[in-house]
Structure 1
């Protein structure tokens, strides 16, 4: 598709970009290809910066063509108000749920977080069992954030009523009615999976849990191993940020 274009010449770059948009429109509107419709949405979003049109394409591709990634996109647009007047978490939730049903793990994550009450400004009625199921589905698909969040739920527990709940003093929670009871073994299991999926915070938790013997048999050698993994992930993250910063300077 790019053959014959000299990308060092501004006019040819512009021509290529316009032709790309034409190809995506044809593939979406004429050939009805969901993957191409999603690419058209990405094109309108990142190249044309027309978020309103991009949102319409994502919405149609989600509802009409059952494309999970587009459900995630229009869910995010609806959540934060991108291309719209105001954000609406309640209206965003069905898009995330549909995206999850269509096999998109990040949609499962977002649906789970909303239902679990993870966002302080999101006015969605809490439903911990439903939220848990979405998070579990996302974790099963190797989403590190979902696994880490589940680990946290088991680490301190999820009370039915937060009024008399103190996550920092477990001994004061003996009479608390839990929806999810604290379970160090389950907390460790999900933290380990999150770490294996590359979550730096989970790796740090796994190291500490091995060091203290929380939810797993105490093992100083494994504690040191996961501490090393944590540091390696931290260095990799800092290097990535540095590279992106330098690229930004070069592009100015």
Structure 2
């Protein structure tokens, strides 16, 4: 499970990093090492525009403490929850992982099922293992 979700979390970011191309201005800032500016942009989009992807990115940056962003797991979960509510499949998948780690398999299944329905193929595959 852990390996699967780490792969999911890094997949999109690594693809963009390896290719150096993205249409997302905040992700481009992050790829250029301007993490605090990227964080600020993602946070504004999450809060002001209800952008689920941006919420998930804020959560991820907080969760991992990327680029000088202070690591804060509790805050990261809040952003993942908002991202999932806004139908970001990766946010739902990461929340499912945390629920699984906490021993709440029922909630983990619900979140992974939602992520699967939102198009996250890895969440779909993992659901078959329950």
- TM-score, normalised relative to structure 1: 0.39
Tell me if 1:45 matches 2:30.
yes
Instruction: Classify 1:152/1:89 alpha carbon distance in 2 versus 1 (closer, same or farther; 3 Å).
Output: farther
Change (3 A) 1:90 1:43: same
Q: Distance in 1 between matches of 2:69 and 2:36?
A: 10
Q: Which residue of 2 aligns with 1:83?
A: 67
TM-align CA RMSD? 1.9
Structure 2 CA distance for aligned equivalents of residues 98 and 51 of structure 1: 21
Distance in 2 of aligned mates of 1:55 and 1:73: 8
C-alpha separation in 2, matches of 1:135 and 1:89: 20
Find out whether 1:148 has 2:125 as its counterpart: yes
Equivalent in 91, 94, 98 of residue 107 of structure 1:
91
Flag the 1:126–1:89 CA change in 2: closer, same or farther, 3 A.
Answer: farther
Are positions 1:127 and 2:104 aligned together?
A: yes
Question: Structure 2: any 5+ residue segments left out of the alignment?
Answer: 1-22
> Helix, strand or coil for the counterpart of 1:152?
coil
Give the distance between the partners of 2:45 and 2:61, measured in 1 at CA. 14
Residues 108, 138 of structure 1: 8 Å contact kept: yes
Question: Structure 2: how far apart are the matches of 1:116 and 1:90?
Answer: 16
Task: Tell me the distance in 1 between the aligned counterparts of 2:24 and 2:124.
Answer: 29
Structure with more contact order per residue of length (Cα contacts < 8 Å, sep ≥ 6): 2
Structure 1 stretches lacking a partner, 5+ long: 1-37, 118-124, 154-252
Query: Take 2:69 and 2:26, find their aligned partners in 1: how far apart are those partners?
Result: 19
Match of 1:66 among 12, 25, 50: 50
Tell me the distance in 2 between the aligned counterparts of 1:108 and 1:115: 10
Deviation at residue 85 of structure 1 after TM alignment:
5.0
Contact 1:55 1:83 in 2 (8 A): no
Measured after TM superposition, the shift of residue 86 of structure 1 is: 4.5
> Quick check: 1:54 aligned with 2:38?
yes
Rg larger for: 1
| Whole-angstrom distance in 1 between the partners of 2:41 and 2:58 | 9
